[in-house]
Amino acid sequence: MNKLLAQDFGKIKLPGEITTRYGTEGGAAIGKLIQTIIYVLIIGAGIYALINFVVAGYSFMSAGDDAKKVAGAWAKIWQTAIGLAVAAGSFVLAAIFGQLIFGDPLFILKPTIPTQ
């Protein structure tokens, strides 16, 4: 029965866009795709933090003598700094956990899915 199915359907091939961009090996292609998604999310967090810093700095400068506006601007600056530290610290934590659990600090940061 299994040989019959293998003859009828053959091997499943990856879509053309994935194979041209990420390689022909299935596990490596999916791992690189996940890695690219992670990097795009981190870059997006950095750009968002930069925009928040600029907006909070502008609101701090335009607050004048209003204590509530100054406190709100400082809160936004601190929240942005903490979010940026979490985004940057995630790389450090991923490397530490990768080293402790898998013996390779890049195991989580550059995932590969083993194939046959």
Residue 13 is predicted with a pLDDT of 63
Answer yes or no: is 86 within a domain: yes
Is 98 within the bounds of a domain?
Answer: yes
CA 14 to chain centre: 23
* 7 occurs within a structural domain: no
4 is a domain residue: no
With respect to residue 1, please indicate whether it lies within any of the assigned structural domains.
no
Q: What is the pLDDT along the chain (116 residues), one digit of tens a residue?
A: 445 444 555 566 656 665 566 555 555 667 777 778 888 988 999 999 999 999 999 999 998 888 999 999 999 999 999 999 998 898 899 899 989 998 888 888 777 666 54
pLDDT for the residue numbered 39: 83
- DSSP assignments along 8-67, one per residue: HH-PPPPPHHHHHHH-S-HHHHHHHHHHHHHHHHHHHHHHHHHHHHHHHHHHHHT-TT-H
Q: 57 lies in a domain? A: yes
37 occurs within a structural domain: yes
Q: Is 100 part of a structural domain of the chain?
A: yes
Q: Which domain covers residue 91, as residue numbers?
A: 29-110
pLDDT of residue 91: 86
pLDDT at residue number 48: 93
Domain count, the chain: 1
